[in-house]
Amino acid sequence: MSVFEELRSVRSAKSQGKRDNKAAFFFLLPWLLGVVLITAGPMLASLWLSFTNYNLIQTPDFIGVQNYVRMFNDPRLLNSLRVTFEYVFVSVPIQLVVALAAALVLDKGMRALPFYRSVFYLPSLLGSSVAVAILWRQIFGQGGLVNQALGLVGLHNLPGWISDPQFALGTIILLNVWTFGAPMIIFLAGLRQIPDMYYEAASIDGAGRWKRFLRITLPMLSPIIFFNVILQLIGAFQSFTQAFIVSGGTGGPSDSTMFYTLYLYQQGFNQFDMGYASAMAWLLFIIIAIITAVTFVTSKYWVFYDN
Amino acid sequence: MTTETATRALTVPANGRNRAQRDASRGIKRSAWSIAKHVIMIALALLMLYPLLWMVVSSLRPNSEIFTNPSIIPDSFQVQNYATGWNALSDPFSLYLGNSIIIVIGAILGNLFACSLAAYAFARLEFRFKRLAFTIMLLTIMLPFQVTLVPQYIMFSFVHMLNTFWPLILPKVLGTDSFFIFLMVQFIRAIPRELDEAARIDGCGHPRIFFRVILPLMTPALATTTIFTFIWMWNEFFGPIVYLTQPHTWTVQVALGQFIDNQTGGDWGALFAMSVVSLIPVFLAFLIGQRFLIRGIATTGIK
């Protein structure tokens, strides 16, 4: 069961048998401390800080909703939202389509499956590292690998992709697509679960390849698609390292790779404007919560549960 | 559902084999398609790995060639870049590697400790507020860490823990990586309850059942947790650049980030060399722990 199905079923679960309150308390003690000290406490604190002006040195100064008002009048922040949305809503669909396509090709009794699976999965593990971001910065730079390769086929005077505001974000989107291996593995596991007899029955009824994909594979896989969509969306909204390294921490050129998290980092840990950074964090939280909720609500129209 | 998926994928390879046999019997048209598929897949695999291979090969080339030589055929073996890179920052790279290793080990131990205990409670015990606690645990998986970052930073600065490894390790010891709790809960649920019952009849309490029965049986889940924690913490960047600002506390990732900032138009060879060094541990973890990684990701679906 995935996290989301757990959430769905947790409401209906009835507790049974005798209770072990004392034992449970001790087993959960580290986690409980974590919830209070590391999660819930700081969450409430950051909610309060978001209504203050605070620079770490002076005591926080309560200023009401001013930080929130300021956000909606901050052109750089609004731009960072636009950049982030573009990144999320372009890279996640492409990444998932590639992941699904690769899984479909690999699924049907393909030889050397473990080999391909490993090769395609490896970038997912390396993709968030600084080293790969450095590599990306070279590859898509003026004299980088991409332009060297294009030079070999006669294309010259190409832009430095990462220093051109038109293309810089695209290179980071490509980096995210490159890490399609993780969702691919989840798709592969999901495909294995679809009973062969469905396909056999459909073939007997004369359904072609395409029809079988539309009528069997997609509906049967929809819970897995849903799962991947939510996870990748949440993850993509929080992307940071790639934009930070590729742009040298600036979000440039011309703020074209200024991810929301990068702007938050600059406000909080360069300017030490902790009140504003907290307000920004809460806005991010609200945006992610709304998008997750919308995906959940619409899921009943497109996610098919086989029970 | 995804757990079933994962276990099936692992335990029923026969299914795939039958399919392969059936496909094979469909004749020559099939095999032409199959060759085409392999050609496409190999091309794609090469395309995906090309940048990485090129970085490794380039790190062994003279500096100037990085902007002129796009081939991945190894043609020179200069280790000079590695020597230069190793000592390019205020401390030798070994210090940053050491810092990263300490943080990673601390995080692994923390996760194994807190998550396995919590998972046992969620999977095997009945207690008050269980549903509430379980829901909170699931929701925190989806919580963006930025929401708690600023107050955590303030808190750790009040207790004078900035520029120490504690802000990175302590949250793990307190089980905030609830993703792994979830993974372990799934695993423990699949262990037959009869084993617990037998131990109980023999007079074991929950601590003994946990240590003697459940923990030994859940080693695959512990291995998955170990490898994922290793790779994620090794690559972790946001936390370390916030908490570790003094050069001698830098992790490998922070040091690399500084390295690229320091050099203007400079030494890409050395930078590549140290980048390769920073990727080696992840690559080794991947080689050794692939089985657990793939199982873990199929079970819970987070990269």
User: DSSP labels for B10-49?
Assistant: HH-HHHHHHHHHHHHTT-HHHHHHHHHHHHHHHHHHHHHH
Encode burial over B207-231: b for 16+ CB neighbours within 10 A, e otherwise.
Answer: eebbeebbbeebeebbbbbbbbbbb
What is the arithmetic mean of pLDDT over A68-84?
96
Domain range holding B196? Answer: 93-262
Q: Which of B48, B79, B110 is the last residue of a domain?
A: B79
C-alpha–C-alpha distance, residues A170 and B49, integer Å? 19
Which of A36-40, A273-277, B286-290 bottoms out in mean pLDDT, i.e. has the lowest? B286-290
Statement to judge: residues B232 and B146 lie in one domain: yes
Q: Is B272 within a domain?
A: no
pLDDT at position B7: 36
C-alpha–C-alpha distance, residues B24 and B26, integer Å? 5
pLDDT digits over B160-213, tens only? 999 999 999 999 999 999 989 998 998 899 899 999 999 999 999 999 999 999
What is the arithmetic mean of pLDDT over B77-95?
92
Domain range holding A84? Answer: 50-302
pLDDT at position A107: 82
pLDDT at position B52: 96
pLDDT digits over B102-148, tens only? 999 999 999 999 999 999 999 999 999 999 999 999 999 888 888 89
Statement to judge: residues B102 and B57 lie in one domain: no
C-alpha–C-alpha distance, residues B20 and B24, integer Å? 6
Residue B1's Cβ-side half-sphere holds a number of Cα atoms within 13 Å equal to 27
DSSP conformational letter for A13: P
pLDDT at position B293: 83
pLDDT at position B36: 86
Q: How many CB pairs under 8 A join A and B?
A: 334
Q: Is B302 within a domain?
A: no
Residue A31 has pLDDT above 50, yes or no: yes
Which chain A residue has its CA at the smallest distance from B40's CA? A105
Contacts of A34 in chain B (CB under 8 A): 114, 171, 174-176
pLDDT at position A242: 93
Which two structure tokens, joined as six digits, stand for B67? Answer: 């902007």
Q: Is A44 within a domain?
A: no
Minimal CA–CA distance to B146: which of B253, B240, B254, B238?
Answer: B238
Q: Is A22 within a domain?
A: no
What is the arithmetic mean of pLDDT over A128-153?
92
DSSP conformational letter for B164: S
C-alpha–C-alpha distance, residues B219 and A107, integer Å? 29
Contacts of B12 in chain A (CB under 8 A): 192
pLDDT digits over B90-102, tens only? 899 999 999 999 9
Q: Is A181 within a domain?
A: yes
Minimal CA–CA distance to A225: which of A101, A88, A113?
Answer: A101
Q: Is B288 within a domain?
A: no
C-alpha–C-alpha distance, residues B45 and A184, integer Å? 14
What's the mean per-residue pLDDT of chain B?
A: 87
ipTM over cut 0.85: yes
Which two structure tokens, joined as six digits, stand for B123? Answer: 């999977």
What is the arithmetic mean of pLDDT over A124-152?
92
Q: Is B242 within a domain?
A: yes
Contacts of B238 in chain A (CB under 8 A): 240-241, 261, 265
Q: Is A34 within a domain?
A: no
Q: Is A243 within a domain?
A: yes
Statement to judge: residues B106 and B254 lie in one domain: yes
What is the arithmetic mean of pLDDT over B7-27?
47
Q: Is B28 within a domain?
A: yes
pLDDT at position A105: 87
* CB-CB neighbours of B49 under 10 Å: 15
Residue B5 has pLDDT above 50, yes or no: no
Statement to judge: residues B30 and B178 lie in one domain: no
Contacts of B130 in chain A (CB under 8 A): 15, 24
What is the arithmetic mean of pLDDT over A213-228?
90
C-alpha–C-alpha distance, residues B193 and A297, integer Å? 36
Q: Is B167 within a domain?
A: yes
Statement to judge: residues B105 and B195 lie in one domain: yes
Q: Which of residues 274-293 of A touch B (CB under 8 A)?
A: 274, 277-278, 280-282, 284-285, 288, 292
What is the arithmetic mean of pLDDT over A110-134?
91
- From A27, A137, A237, residue closest to B125, measured CB to CB: A27
C-alpha separations of A202 from A197, A205, A211, A220, B16 in Å:
8, 5, 9, 14, 19
Statement to judge: residues B126 and B74 lie in one domain: no
Counted domains in chain B: 2
- CB within 8 Å: A105 and B41: yes
Q: Which of residues 130-149 of A touch B (CB under 8 A)?
A: 130-132, 134-139, 143-145, 148-149
Q: Which of residues 99-158 of B touch A (CB under 8 A)?
A: 113-115, 117-118, 120-121, 125-128, 130-131, 133-155, 157
pLDDT band at B264, cuts 50/70/90?
low
C-alpha–C-alpha distance, residues B142 and A284, integer Å? 12
Q: Is A90 within a domain?
A: yes
Residue B4 has pLDDT above 70, yes or no: no
The answer to whether the CB of B3 falls within 8 A of the CB of A76 is no
| Straight-line distance from the first to the last Cα atom of chain B, in angstroms, rounded to the nearest whole number | 18
Which position has the token pair 């490998």?
B252
Q: Is A29 within a domain?
A: no
Cis link prior to A123 (omega < 30° from 0)? no
pLDDT band at B13, cuts 50/70/90?
very low
Shortest CA gap A166–chain B (Å)? 23
pLDDT band at B20, cuts 50/70/90?
low
Q: Is B287 within a domain?
A: no
Statement to judge: residues B18 and B110 lie in one domain: no
Which of A138-142, B2-6, B33-37 bottoms out in mean pLDDT, i.e. has the lowest? B2-6
Q: Hey, which residues does B35 pair with through a beta bridge?
A: none
What is the arithmetic mean of pLDDT over A175-179?
96
Which two structure tokens, joined as six digits, stand for A141? Answer: 């730079």
Residues 6+ away with beta carbon under 8 Å from B102: B165
- From A35, A105, A135, residue closest to B51, measured CB to CB: A135
What is the arithmetic mean of pLDDT over B26-37?
76
What is the arithmetic mean of pLDDT over B243-266?
88
pLDDT digits over B45-64, tens only? 999 999 999 999 999 998 88
Statement to judge: residues B248 and B102 lie in one domain: yes
C-alpha–C-alpha distance, residues B133 and B122, integer Å? 9
Long-range contacts of B34-43 (CB under 8 A, 24+ apart): B34/A110, B34/A111, B37/A105, B37/A110, B38/A111, B38/A112, B40/A105, B41/A105, B41/A106, B41/A110, B41/A116
Instruction: Output Rg (C-alpha) for chain A, integer angstroms.
Output: 24
Minimal CA–CA distance to B3: which of B302, B303, B298?
Answer: B298
Which secondary-structure segment (H or E) carries A194?
A: none
Which of A299-303, B119-123, B278-282 bottoms out in mean pLDDT, i.e. has the lowest? A299-303
Statement to judge: residues B23 and B144 lie in one domain: no
pLDDT at position B303: 35
The answer to whether the CB of B167 falls within 8 A of the CB of B236 is no
Q: Is B207 within a domain?
A: yes
What is the arithmetic mean of pLDDT over A20-40?
95
pLDDT band at A51, cuts 50/70/90?
very high
Q: Hey, which residues does A52 pair with through a beta bridge?
A: A62
pLDDT band at B19, cuts 50/70/90?
low
Counted domains in chain A: 1
Residue B147: which CATH number? Answer: 1.10.3720.10
- Cβ-in-10-Å burial (0-12, 13-18, 19+) of A307 comes to exposed
pLDDT at position B186: 87
Residue B287 has pLDDT above 60, yes or no: yes
Statement to judge: residues B148 and B244 lie in one domain: yes
Residue A79: which CATH number? Answer: 1.10.3720.10
Amino acid present at B64: S
Statement to judge: residues B151 and B218 lie in one domain: yes
Which two structure tokens, joined as six digits, stand for A49? Answer: 């800080």
Statement to judge: residues B11 and B133 lie in one domain: no
Amino acid present at A43: M
Residues 6+ away with beta carbon under 8 Å from B131: A10, A11, A13, A15
Q: Is A13 within a domain?
A: no
pLDDT at position B63: 85
Q: Which parts of chain A fold into alpha helices (H)?
A: 3-10, 21-34, 41-49, 66-72, 75-107, 113-126, 130-139, 145-152, 168-178, 181-192, 196-204, 209-212, 218-237, 241-246, 260-265, 274-302
